[in-house]
Amino acid sequence: CGAVHSAVLTGAQSGLWQVAIVWGIGVTLAIYCSNHISGAHLNPAMTLCFAFWGMFPLRKVLPYLASQILGAMVAAFFLFVIYQPYIIQRELDRGIIRGELGSELTAMCYGEYFPNPSSLSTTEGLYDSSKRIIFDAKVSHFNAFIAEVLGTMILASVIFALTDSANNKAPGSNLAPLFIGLTVAVLISVIAPLTQACFNPARDFGPRLVSYFLGWGNIALPGPRGGFFTIYILAPTTGAILGGGLYKIYGSLKS
């Protein structure tokens, strides 16, 4: 969320890969910091995945989900506080009104949209409503759903592989967070043009809820095209469960 703020509002990162790698490093550091406390449960999709496959106690699921979403909301609020002048300036520069069509260009710092709203601007940076039909046709609800399922499925499968004690080819627990972060970065570089690459329902829903109350209203919830639940909550959760199951199948094979 912070990487998107700095990229969208200040141009601090000059390309998608720069955003992706900053995001991936952030994930890596978060895992290192929280692994000994909560097992690095930072993602509701992964928590539900582990619970589904009997690797996490059901009684802890709801408290963990609530904590993950609350943490994302707190982070989003403080990002709004420190970036507010940049948000206002971008709205003026782009000719958009918060809460109206086109304000996805700033709301994308919080919730996520499909396809990436950056293509709604003209070459001069102004919001161009005439691009709306072409913009919406680029990525359908179905394509966005599949993209999020596949991205999270790959991520979950990698996490299962890296944390499997029976996998003697894994880099070990000390390096696993680094490879998880790199996986996130690679997936973002591929999926972000389509859906902004969520893979984590808390990362989308928490900030999206904050932006709803900070003036973006219906642009945040339910969003101009809807689909926030199916694409950014249901799809990552489905993908994580499928990815865990996929690893259980191929991870059990012996050469």
Condensed to tens digits (0 to 9), the pLDDT of residues 12-70 reads 777 889 999 999 999 999 999 999 999 999 999 999 999 999 999 999 999 999 999 99
- pLDDT for the residue 254: 63
Residues 193, 49, 23: CA angle, nearest 5 degrees: 35
Q: How far is CA 123 from the centre of its chain?
A: 27
Q: What is the mean pLDDT of residues 176-180?
A: 97
Q: Which of 156, 206, 189 is nearest to 46 (CA)?
A: 156
- pLDDT for the residue 39: 94
Share of the chain above pLDDT 70, in %: 97
What's the pLDDT tens digit per position in 230-251? 999 999 999 999 999 999 998 8
Q: Is the pTM of this model over 0.85?
A: yes
Reported for 11-16, long-range contacts at CB under 8 A and 24+ positions apart, including other chains, are 16/188, 16/189, 16/192, 16/193
- pLDDT for the residue 121: 66
What's the pLDDT tens digit per position in 113-155? 999 887 776 555 677 777 778 888 889 999 999 999 999 999 9
Which CATH topology does 2-250 take?
Glycerol uptake facilitator protein (1.20.1080)
pLDDT interval class at 168 (50, 70, 90):
confident
Domain borders along the chain are 2-250
